[in-house]
Amino acid sequence: MTVHHLTSRDFKAKSTAALEDAVLQGNLVKLKDNFLARRTKAKESLPEFEDLRDASVVIKKHTIAHLDFYLEAFEAAVTASGGRVHWARDDTEARAIVLDICKQENAKTVTKGKTMVGEEIGINPFLEAHGMTPIETDLGEYIIQLAKEPPSHIIAPAIHKNRQQVAALFNEHHPHLEHRGDDDVDGMLADARTVLREQFLKADVGITGANFLIAETGQTVIVTNEGNGDLTQLLPRVHIALAGIEKVVPTLEDTMTIMRVLARSATGQEMSSYTTFSAGGRRKGDLDGPEAFHVVLLDNGRSKLLGSPTEDILRCIRCGCCLNACPVYGKIGGHAYGSTYSGPVGAVLTPSLAGLSEAHHLPNASSLCGRCEEVCPMRIPIPKMLRHFREEEVASGKAPATARRGIALWAWFASRPGLYRAMTSLGTDMLSRFGRKRGRFSSLPMAGAWTATRDLASPQGSSFQSQWAKRSKS
Amino acid sequence: MSEARNAILARVKGGVARSDDDAARRAVAERLAGHTRGLQPKRIDLDQEALVDLFAENAQAVDATVSFINSAADLPEAIADYLRSRNMPALAAIAPHPDLDGIDWSAGTMEVHRRAPEANDRIGINRCFAAVAETGTLVMASGPDSPTTMNFLPETHIAVVAASEITGSYEDMWDRLRSANRGSGEALPRTVNMITGTSRTGDIEQTLQTGVHGPKALHIVVVKEG
């Protein structure tokens, strides 16, 4: 079974479609007023926020530099508390491990908390193909599971849907429940609670992700707001936590430092509603909890990033903040990226893990404005990495011919200053003369792709170089 | 899958640039044993009384309600009052915790069932291990006297914490939990839940809604003495 969850081959067509999707555009506009504005507020009410970001970077850098030792320590601690660690080199191995555990349990219903690694390895269709019923229990994930779509945001998977679409999906899939009007959001919530509560109670295995793996204690940590992750891991006989190998941190103290920037960066909350630390299975005298506890550690290309120009992306804690800040994500949404990971982090992770040939559009779909790095709690230099991929693309000769010819032409002029100045002043002069009256162009020869969706401002006054020359003289 | 394990660890070892393996191993062992704290926010530089106030303020800011009582004997009445104000029946599942056992629940005309919650229980009462003032966070430690499902299954969660158990930071709480667990044979409880407010979601049009899977209401009773 081949899975293509880390690929972005249809980026151009999908981003064009996204721009024409009125619902998506409406929802994306709200990102700034919601997540991003709340992040700013949370940051302002914690004076230590910037220092905590620095401290978090130091913790993750130290961990990544000693990743092998911390993974070994984590495994030992999980085993000591009665759990079991499984290692998966790639998605195929990870799926096989999960299937094996589910088969041993004779599992029929498998509930799921939100897990991006689960998306990355394509666990749902795989379990379905083996006769099991995976049920997403995070409200956003449940909505998109009904719609048979992948998540379009790391922490808000159904951000592309409006309430009318959710009502339609619920009415179609919950025929036994009351019909919900478009604005009956409370009713939809009640339905999700009713339907999913039944699934929680009958599930045989529960699968969650993990925000952190703590080497000191062997705990896996999930950070959620709904409580679905907890019911997922508490009620079935078996809990499986899926995590990338980069999720390990040394101690509880280190975890709490990073925790102080995680929710604030993600949703602007000081703390998410539920932060849960799990170690092993049910103990003597316990009245509830899973009997068995498994952790699946996934590599899937991560280890080869160590020592590479994109090593720093391993610091990512999947808060989704760079998506909220990105002007490109803000126009095209998550599905356009094709890959499980969208936005700025996806534009680095996808080519890093799967190779540039799978995602060569992504590093180019950026103005390198730097907002992602500015807001990233882990201060990951995403623009630098995007530039690295652009250089790699040019060096390998795989850049599109028009781009290569255009840059070559520009370089030819740029290395002849006299000619370059003459050409640019001529261009500026012409544009400013023809555009003076309106101040902008709504169409221009050879610039149709630009002017089709926006105007080009006409230059005001003379070029930078001629102004510079004039000022230097005086 | 030890083959996969060894292959991954070998690749990781090859990827981390390191000149002195032994020194690195020592550094890791020291860090794991050291429990070195990071930066602690200034907002918690307060005496215990002010920490209790900060806890209540932060918990209320995330839609929890908080009431104060002078002693554990006042619990039945305080909880019955709360339930009455919400038009809810005085019928609850209660964690089999020794601190909750010696109380005369009939004093508040409460009917309590001492067990893990069942699917249809609307109200659950349990005992916190601690609470953290920094963000108004409750800390629940799993064990025979504290079923974790009590935090999630009932629609209304009523949690009891002593004022003296409220710490400034998460790190203060972890230190207390580590020493409380010493001698139990396990380093820490199976599950530790940090709870900050009620269950919520923004998954429909980024509009905040409470009570999607977990409790719709969280009521915290702070016991001032004992």
Lowest mean pLDDT of A112-116, A306-310, A437-441, B88-92, name the range: A437-441
> A163-173 and A139-146 are packed helices; what angle lies between their axes, rounded to 10 degrees?
70
Kind and range of the H or E element at A233?
helix A228-234
| Per-residue pLDDT tens over the stretch A349-389 | 999 999 999 999 999 999 999 999 999 999 999 999 999 99
Whether A106 is in a domain gets the answer yes
Question: Residue A178 and residue A170: Cα distance in Å, rounded?
Answer: 10
Structural domain span for residue A100: 11-301
More confident call, A318 vs A423 = A318
What pLDDT score does A331 carry? 95
- Phi then psi for residue A270, to 5 deg, are -70, -40
* CA neighbor of A108 nearest in space, from A133, A145, A77: A133
Q: Which residues of A, range 206-225, sit inside 8 Å of B by Cβ? A: 215-217, 219, 225
Q: Alpha-carbon torsion A68, A72, A74, A78, what sign?
A: positive
Contact B40, B171 (CB under 8 A): yes
* CA neighbor of A233 nearest in space, from A75, A112, A107: A112
Whether A4 is in a domain gets the answer no
Q: What DSSP letter does each residue of A337-392 carry, written as one string?
A: G-SSS-HHHHHHHHHHHH-GGGSTTGGGS-----HHHHH-TT---HHHHHHHHHHH
Q: Assign domain B46-200+215-223 to its CATH superfamily.
A: NagB/RpiA/CoA transferase-like (3.40.50.10420)
Contact A347, A337 (CB under 8 A): yes
First to last CA, chain A: 72
A458 — pLDDT class (breaks 50, 70, 90): confident
What pLDDT score does A459 carry? 80
**Min distance B40 CA to chain A CA atoms (Å):** 8
A2 — pLDDT class (breaks 50, 70, 90): very low
What pLDDT score does A3 carry? 53
Q: CATH number for the domain including A172?
A: 3.40.50.10420
Contact B67, B79 (CB under 8 A): no
Q: What is the count of structural domains for chain A?
A: 2
Question: Residue A272 and residue A50: Cα distance in Å, rounded?
Answer: 19
Binary contact (A281, B188; C-beta < 8 A):
no
> B170-181 and A252-266 are packed helices; what angle lies between their axes, rounded to 10 degrees?
140
What pLDDT score does A404 carry? 84
| Per-residue pLDDT tens over the stretch A228-239 | 999 999 999 999
Site from B11, B26, B31 to mutate, A interface, most A CB atoms within 10 angstroms: B31
Alpha helices in chain B (DSSP H): 2-15, 21-34, 48-61, 75-85, 98-101, 170-181
Contact B164, B131 (CB under 8 A): no
Among the candidates A285, A301, A317, a domain finishes at A301
Question: Residue A44 and residue A41: Cα distance in Å, rounded?
Answer: 5
What pLDDT score does A431 carry? 82
What pLDDT score does A428 carry? 80
The closest CB to that of B212, out of A72, A192, A269, belongs to A192
Question: Residue A193 and residue A215: Cα distance in Å, rounded?
Answer: 35
Together in a domain, A141 and A264: yes
- 3-state DSSP call for residue A292? strand
Q: Which residues of A fall within a CB distance of 8 Å from B211? A: 189, 193
Among the candidates A301, A320, A343, a domain finishes at A301
What pLDDT score does A466 carry? 79
Binary contact (B206, A189; C-beta < 8 A):
no
Please identify every stretch of chain B with a pLDDT value under 50, giving residue numbers as ranges. none
The burial of A307, by beta-carbon neighbours within 10 Å (0-12 exposed, 13-18 middle, 19 or more buried), is given as exposed
Question: Residue B210 and residue B226: Cα distance in Å, rounded?
Answer: 33
The closest CB to that of B171, out of A64, A253, A308, belongs to A253
A214-218: average pLDDT: 98
Strand partners, A136: A112
| Per-residue pLDDT tens over the stretch A271-293 | 999 999 999 999 999 999 999 99
What pLDDT score does B1 carry? 53
How far lies B221's CA from each of A132, A373, A455, in Å?
Answer: 43, 43, 61
Strand partners, B125: B94, B158
Q: To which residue do tokens 């380093």 refer?
A: B187
What pLDDT score does A445 carry? 76
Contact B130, B165 (CB under 8 A): yes
Whether the per-residue pLDDT at A241 is higher than 90: the answer is yes
Whether A313 is in a domain gets the answer no
Site from A230, A262, A297, A313 to mutate, B interface, most B CB atoms within 10 angstroms: A230
Site from A165, A275, A294 to mutate, B interface, most B CB atoms within 10 angstroms: A275
Q: ipTM, 2 decimals?
A: 0.97
Q: Which residues of B, range 85-144, sit inside 8 Å of A by Cβ? A: 96, 115-116, 119, 135, 137, 142-144
- Other C-beta atoms closer than 10 Å to the C-beta of A405 total 11
Q: Determine the residue type at B91.
A: L
| Per-residue pLDDT tens over the stretch A8-67 | 889 999 999 999 999 999 999 988 788 999 999 999 999 999 999 999 999 999 999 999
Query: In degrees, to the nearest 5, what angle opens at C-alpha A155 toward C-alphas A153 and A157?
Result: 50
What pLDDT score does A4 carry? 64
What pLDDT score does A1 carry? 42
What pLDDT score does B226 carry? 54
| Pairs of residues, one from chain A and one from chain B, whose beta carbons lie less than 8 Å apart | 270
What is the DSSP code (8-state) at residue A452? T
Binary contact (B202, A216; C-beta < 8 A):
no
Whether A159 is in a domain gets the answer yes
The burial of A339, by beta-carbon neighbours within 10 Å (0-12 exposed, 13-18 middle, 19 or more buried), is given as buried
- Phi then psi for residue A104, to 5 deg, are -60, -30
What is the DSSP code (8-state) at residue A36? I
The set of long-range contacts for A305-309, using a CB threshold of 8 Å and a minimum separation of 24, is A305/A352, A305/A353, A305/B15, A306/A64, A306/A67, A306/B11, A306/B12, A306/B14, A306/B15, A306/B16, A307/B15, A307/B16, A307/B17, A308/A352, A308/B15, A309/A385, A309/A388
